[in-house]
A and B are shown apart, each in its own frame.
Chain A
């Protein structure tokens, strides 16, 4: 019995010791797990931060940009950033310009328009192909993970994962987990539009293709638009959003593999995934993937930034009639002048001297007066001019146009005036519309190709007429000779305004040509005794 009693001594203490050891091991194990999970969190946070840097730099890093190559790609020189390049930030401007030019071509070719030509149709295709080449280069850049790795690693490696070990570090995992995606389909792009910018005769974009936010209409992105038989699309960048992380499922569901976008060859992505792993860790290796959507946080207005409209004053003719028979012809300028002609009578030896006060239709001598000089239906003139100016500066009103034209004085010897934009920003936004003689405009704007001609066909868009005794130009006469007497005299006036539409290729959006004529009717007779 004493042996049994002695056998039980110390049993509790050994149990306690064992339990203590077990507890110590459990605490140690908990500590290790906590370090692993904590380290895993640190890795994930670092990968998130690195991915956010991709979202930030994808729209502005120099190595993720492209420049226009030679030839027609320089039609997009007005879409470049301040460094002369194209990136995710401004590729929508490139496609917006190509779209607008093709919308012009479609309108010019539309039934009954008569404004199109072989040139304009060709230019529509040319500008589309040039935009596609720029697009393809940018697509290749953004899908080349090796170009993106440096921006990821820049932030990744500055964060620590010390919970995975004192020497633990991170490195990029260059594998097929690096993908791109087209997210936020049908959301707003960073291009605003005013529907009255679009030419009459084009109906491929309606309010349904836009989204109204903060009193501005944004063209929807990753949504096919058609113009001139071609497909266009912009990239969505949600309004007032910053680059941010998104879920893996949302990203994957919108990759091209899972959700194709057939109407756009090489569609530019707006989201990227990034993958990294831990190295030199004490415990087992961790890896993490993050998904980020980029956003330049800059908006642009749909426009043809480098473009102009020409107003050509094609001279004024004066036709002299004596007794209904054409007797002489002359020309006159844009300032009041008096001309006279001496015409011999057919019968007898008397002469008729006719006088005409011409150029009075240009009082006051402004370009606005030169366009709207005589009575007539100028509706088409205003519509065409205004719509084209709005392609340069959206929101330009009829009042603005009237003020602009009336502020430009007619200058002696000048018969061509340009309406064109002047920019103070490095990226050609927010222009001031000017109207100046062509030579002055060309001298003040290095980008302006003032000699460029519109690529459409000329069409008469307005007739003017001033009836007898109402015309601003007047005539009178004297007769000399025995038995010669003067008869009635009067003037009539006519005007014709011609519009040649331009698609915007090579800058010229159109030309308004103005021609006027004053007919001077003089009468008199001589009695032969």
Chain B
């Protein structure tokens, strides 16, 4: 009888060990997925802000600058995790006096593995470019 007990205790032991281990392993793996998403979408947002600022800087006035920035965002190929890219009014600051344009973008991202209280992230990126769309002063 002791042999059968020992055999039953041994059978399934590994499974239990794996399950216990998985309790640590799985969250780390899932968190790393979220971390990768956060890092990549943050870089994506930075690039997009730079592109929008560059497009705005090639214009001659504030109205066209905003339109150019918005067009850059509209042409952005959305990733499935990106919920929204927002360019609020006033976030394209075309400063003709100082010769620069500042663009501020907000990107809302849905994390692929939502955790309680941590299911999305919002990034803000700001890029400043010199205005090259206007001719040199007379």
Contact = CB atoms under 8 A, between A and B. Distances in A.
A42 interface: yes
A265 B55 CA distance: 38
14 contacts: A13-B17, A13-B18, A16-B25, A19-B25, A20-B28, A23-B29, A27-B31, A38-B39, A59-B136, A60-B136, A87-B136, A159-B127, A163-B42, A242-B132
B127 A242 contact: no
Contact of A27 (B28, B129, B130): B28
A251 to B, nearest CB: 18
Interface string A296-321: 11100000000000000000000000
A56 B21 contact: no
A57 B136 CA distance: 8
A469 interface: no
Contacts of A81: 137-138
B127 A23 contact: no
A17 B21 contact: yes
Interface of A: 2, 5, 9-13, 15-17, 19-20, 23-24, 27, 30-31, 34-35, 38, 41-42, 45, 49, 52-53, 55-57, 59-60, 81-82, 87, 89, 154-155, 158-160, 163, 242-244, 296-298, 425-427
B138 A45 contact: no
A12 B130 contact: no
B39 A5 contact: no
Interface string B11-22: 001100110111
B136 A31 contact: no
A2 B131 CA distance: 80
Given A35-B39, A38-B39, A16 B128 contact: no
A35 B14 CA distance: 39
Interface string B22-58: 1011001101100110011011001100100100011
Nearest to A23: B28
Given A155-B128, A242-B58, A34 B39 contact: yes
B25 A89 contact: no
Contact of A296 (B6, B10, B17, B135): B135
Interface string B65-81: 00000000000000000
Contacts of B39: 31, 34-35, 38
* Count class of interface residues, chain B: 35 or more
A16 B17 contact: yes
Given A20-B28, A297-B136, A155 B21 contact: no
Contacts of A56: 99, 130-132
Interface in B70-116: 99-100, 102
Interface of B: 6, 10, 13-14, 17-18, 20-22, 24-25, 28-29, 31-32, 35-36, 39-40, 42-43, 46-47, 50, 53, 57-58, 99-100, 102, 126-138
Given A12-B18, A41-B46, A20 B24 contact: yes
9 closest residue pairs by CB, A with B:
A16-B21, A53-B130, A297-B135, A12-B17, A13-B17, A27-B32, A296-B136, A60-B136, A34-B39
A23 B25 contact: yes
Contacts, number: 119
Main secondary structure of the interface of B (DSSP, over half): helix
A155 B132 CA distance: 13
B136 A89 contact: yes
Given A12-B18, A20-B21, A52 B132 contact: yes
A31 B25 contact: no
B101 to A, nearest CB: 10
Contacts of A9: 10, 13
A13 B20 contact: yes
Contacts of B6: 2, 5
A38 B43 CA distance: 6
Given A27-B35, A34-B39, A45 B127 contact: yes
Given A12-B14, A158-B128, A38 B35 contact: no
Contact of B22 (A16, A155, A426): A16
B16 to A, nearest CB: 8
Contacts of A87: 136
A215 B111 CA distance: 57
Nearest to A24: B28
B81 to A, nearest CB: 16
Given A16-B18, A158-B100, A296-B136, 6 more contacts: A11-B17, A27-B35, A38-B46, A82-B137, A155-B129, A297-B134
Contact of A60 (B17, B50, B137): B137
A243 B132 contact: yes
A49 B127 CA distance: 9
Given A13-B21, A59-B136, A82-B138, A5 B128 contact: no
Contacts of B24: 16-17, 20
Contacts of B127: 45, 49, 159
Nearest to B32: A27
A437 to B, nearest CB: 32
